[in-house]
């Protein structure tokens, strides 16, 4: 039994059919990258798994328990955390207050010292307001809020989008360290090279359909598919 099992989900925005029988699995301590061009359905997949969008069909199981149709807060309590592309930082709160707020309802929250070890820059900015942070610092804080809740599985939506190369390098390093520590991660990312640098397995989406499943090495052996669906 996989930690996360998604079986033939279909999702809609209004009358628009976005996901078509999407199936995937994520094992404990595995990093899975979900790749594809803009509009392929990657973010919709994460939002459906997290309960932000209710699937019109199919099943989603977390540790064997059905979660489709549950509200996001209930899924979060079961150990899944979504780090959205928009980051959703509380701008009026400091870095530390953002983290303490996230930890309030966690059953087993990390101590702040563990967060500071993972993100030294956040330790330096702990008393800074959320709206004063750079884009990279906001992304670090968004990931740290998921970690402080000791999430069993973290869904990262475009974590490197719009960030300077040096910041991307730092975030890739943190992601690799989390993977090495056994964190289970699903990452949606346009930066194919960055995502593949720490992923164990890959799914490629095209127009709401899964068109590839395999390892990063398998994907690199299919340059025609990479060019057609990833533009690389």
- Over residues 27-58, the pLDDT tens digits come to 999 999 999 999 999 999 999 999 999 999 99
What local confidence, expressed as pLDDT, does residue 185 receive? 94
Percent of the chain with pLDDT over 70: 100
In the block, which residue shows the tokens 């702990």? Answer: 126
| Residues 138 and 89: beta-carbon distance below 8 Å | yes
Longest dimension (CA), the chain: 49
Options 3.40.50.280, 1.10.730.10, 3.90.110.10, 3.40.50.300; CATH of 4-79+152-230: 3.40.50.300
Q: Which two tokens stand for residue 229?
A: 């669906």
- What pLDDT sits at residue 186? 96
pLDDT of 177 over the 80 cut:
yes
Give me the mean pLDDT over the 170-196 stretch: 88
In the chain, domain spans = 4-79+152-230, 83-144
Mean of pLDDT values over 68-90: 92
- The CA radius of gyration of the chain, in Å to the nearest whole number, is 17
User: Per-residue pLDDT averaged across 178-196, rounded?
Assistant: 90
Q: Beta strand 80-83 with 153-157: parallel, antiparallel or unpaired?
A: parallel
Q: What is the mean pLDDT of residues 180-198?
A: 90
Q: What is the pLDDT of residue 165?
A: 87
Phi then psi for residue 88, to 5 deg, are: 55, 45
User: Average model confidence (pLDDT) for the chain?
Assistant: 93
pLDDT computed for residue 174 by the predictor: 84
83-124: per-residue pLDDT in tens? 998 888 999 999 999 999 999 988 889 999 999 998 999 999
Q: Would you say residue 142 has pLDDT above 90?
A: yes
Q: From the CB of residue 186, how many other CB atoms can be counted at a distance below 10 Å?
A: 25
Task: With a cut of 70, say whether residue 232 has pLDDT above it.
Answer: no
């Amino acid at each position: 039994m996989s930690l996360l099992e998604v079986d033939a989900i279909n999702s809609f925005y209004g009358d628009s059919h976005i996901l078509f029988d999407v199936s995937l699995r994520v094992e404990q301590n595995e990093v899975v990258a979900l790749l594809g061009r803009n509009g392929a359905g990657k973010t919709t997949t994460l939002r459906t798994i997290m309960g932000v969008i209710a699937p019109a069909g199919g099943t989603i199981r977390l540790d064997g328990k059905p979660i489709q149709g549950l509200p996001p807060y209930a899924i979060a309590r079961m150990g899944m955390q979504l780090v959205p592309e928009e980051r959703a930082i509380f701008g009026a709160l400091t870095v530390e207050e953002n983290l303490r707020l996230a930890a309030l309802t966690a059953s087993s929250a990390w101590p702040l010292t563990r967060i500071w070890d993972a993100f030294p820059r956040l330790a330096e900015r702990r008393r800074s307001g959320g709206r004063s942070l750079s884009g990279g610092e906001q992304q670090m804080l968004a990931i740290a809020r998921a970690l402080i809740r000791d999430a069993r599985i973290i869904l990262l939506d475009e974590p490197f989008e719009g960030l300077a190369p040096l910041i991307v390098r730092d975030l890739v390093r943190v992601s690799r360290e989390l993977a090495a520590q056994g964190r289970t991660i699903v990452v949606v990312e346009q930066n194919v090279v960055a995502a593949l640098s720490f992923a164990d397995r890959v799914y490629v989406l095209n127009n709401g359909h899964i068109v590839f499943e395999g390892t990063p090495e398998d994907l690199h052996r299919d340059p025609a598919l990479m060019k057609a669906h990833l533009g690389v």
